[in-house]
Amino acid sequence: MNVLILGSGGREHTFAWKLAQSPLLTKLFIAPGNAGTDALGENVNIKVDDFAAIKTLCVDKQIGMVVVGPEDPLVKGIHDFFLADADLKNIPVIGPQKAGAELEGSKDFAKEFLFRHNIPTAGYQTFTADNLEEGYAFLDTLKAPYVLKADGLAAGKGVLILNSVEEAKAELKEMLTEAKFGAASAKVVIEEFLDGIELSVFVLTDGENYKVLPTAKDYKRIGEGDTGLNTGGMGAISPVPFADDVLMEKIETRIVKPTVDGLKKDGIPYKGFIFIGLINVDNEPIVIEYNVRMGDPETEAVLPRIKSDLLELFQAVGNGTLNEKTLELDPRYATAVMMVSGGYPEAYQKGKVMTGIDSVEDSIVFHAGTKLEGTEVQTNGGRVMALTSFGDTMNEALAKSFASAEKVKFEGKYYRTDIGFDL
């Protein structure tokens, strides 16, 4: 079967790497891809939300499955577009239709869903410019710190955590009346602050059955010790050491199962990944967000631990037979350390020549923001490359990832040397 992967990051290179191992695969296409995916299939220079160009590609190349990496095309309805088109409707799309993608596309929708299905989450209220005063009054009933979330997609930047109620009111006003995050902040969810340690759980579902994939923890801040600006993610560890059987049992019965059942009850078809962001508060798992795709760089630590044929699992997602499949996992730790361009997540330069990639032996190299110029690999984004390693302990795996990160060279290279410091 020919498979098309949409996206260009480390997540998509990891999907390509894993799918390329499947005997069911004929040829991989990646749109737009990066220098890493180029070695595993054919990169096609199409944007992930150019549905018309994606259609042409699928027809020309006889694509038998589409795997959607990022959320944007899902929230824009790529799966619905396929179902509505006579030429495309039989091609399985891994990723939910628009209705399911609202779990990530609208924080207010997600909160309503969580409350409707009695899934543990922080208390909240939602406001618009029309009831700003009520928003101020709600903030007065809460204790610091204050959590404000732009309702819509804001490229990971839409959540503000503020220490004073004055700041929170000023930000609320800016979000609602001055479009601080554009249309995404026309509605704002204000929620209770939860104090605990975060982890992420990934679920693959065909809408009826599900498999719980390995857990992971990512490191979002740019600086050591979780300081500085938020990034897309600077590293990830799988499994999460504190996610023992007792906690996982709570997560599955209180959160995963009610989520899949809730989608069914609401009549929302869902084929794809559910990424559940949790905070563990005194051993009670509480949902802070849903994403409708895999995480990046969590994918770089989670997928290498899956021993089963991922393409076979995806086929089962497509035809609703996931219950007939088993999920085999590698018990070892996997760690992903992300190398980024100097300056990221603020302004940074691209086009820096990368060397030493071939000298990496103890890690899997997953390209993110890279491109090929002739035979030369150059940087082409903020997050440049993830180095994934296995180990019987977390520290053994991390030591390999850090050593590999030393070997790859480019001007302005930066990575966090304290991934896993809190575990």
As a whole number of angstroms, the distance between CA 287 and CA 275 comes to 11
Q: Using the rule CB under 6 A, is 138 a contact of ligand AMP?
A: no
Cβ distance to ligand GLY smaller for residue 149 or 325 = 149
**Residue 218: what are its φ and ψ, rounded to 5°?**
-115, 170
Residue type, 54: I
Smallest separation, CB 418 to ligand GLY (Å):
17
CA-to-CA distance for 166 and 174, rounded, in angstroms?
Answer: 12
| CB atoms near residue 42 (< 10 Å) | 15
Which of ligand AMP, ligand GLY, none does residue 35 bind to, with CB < 5 to 8 Å depending on kind? none
Does 64 interact with ligand GLY (rule: CB under 6 A)?
no
* Closest separation in Å from C-beta 276 to ligand GLY: 11
- Residue 168: which residues within 8 A CB-CB, separation 6 or more? 139, 146, 148, 162, 190
Burial class (CB in 10 A: 0-12, 13-18, 19+), 84: exposed
- Find residue 227's DSSP bridge partners: 223
**233 binding partner (options ligand GLY, ligand AMP, none; Cβ < 5 to 8 Å by kind):** ligand GLY
Between residues 13 and 169, which has the closer beta carbon with respect to ligand GLY? 13
**Of the candidate residues 22, 126, 205, 291, the single one contacting ligand GLY (CB under 6 A):** 291
Instruction: Give the count of residues interacting with ligand AMP (CB under 6 A).
Output: 12
Strand partners, 353: 378
- Residue 161 C-beta: closest distance to ligand GLY, Å: 16
Task: Say how far apart CA 31 and CA 54 lie, in whole Å.
Answer: 9
- Taking CB under 6 A as the criterion, the residue among 147, 172, 176, 204 binding ligand AMP is 147
206, 298, 300, 309: which one binds ligand GLY (CB under 6 A): 298
Q: Residue type for 413, please?
A: K
Nearer to ligand AMP, 136 or 193 (CB): 193
Of 3, 114, 119, 194, the one binding ligand AMP by CB under 6 A? 194
Burial (0-12, 13-18, 19+ Cβ within 10 Å), 213: buried
The whole-angstrom separation of Cα 193 and Cα 147 is 6
Cα–Cα distance, 419 to 398 (Å, whole number): 8
Is 122 a binder of ligand AMP (CB under 6 A)?
Answer: yes
Distance set, CA 256 to CA 91, 213, 248, 326 (Å) = 27, 11, 10, 18
Applying CB under 6 A, the span of 28-36, 112-120, 245-253, 293-301 interacting with ligand GLY comes to: 293-301
Closest separation between CB of residue 34 and ligand GLY, Å?
16
Q: Nearest approach, Cβ of 237 to ligand GLY (angstroms)?
A: 12
For residue 334, the minimal CB distance to ligand GLY (Å) is 15
Is residue 337 within a helix (H) or strand (E), and if so which, with residue range?
A: strand 333-340
Query: Which of the ranges 203-211, 292-300, 381-389, 407-415 carries the binding residues for ligand GLY, by CB under 6 A?
Result: 292-300
In this structure, the dihedral spanned by the alpha carbons of residues 13, 221, 144 and 148, taken in order and rounded to 10 degrees, is: -40
148 touches ligand AMP (CB under 6 A) = no
Interface map 228-267 toward ligand GLY (x if CB under 6 A): ----xx----------------------------------
The verdict on 38 binding ligand GLY (CB under 6 A) reads no
Interface residues toward ligand GLY, by CB under 6 A: 218, 232-233, 291, 295-296, 298
Interface residues toward ligand AMP, by CB under 6 A: 122, 147, 149, 159, 191-194, 198, 277, 288-289
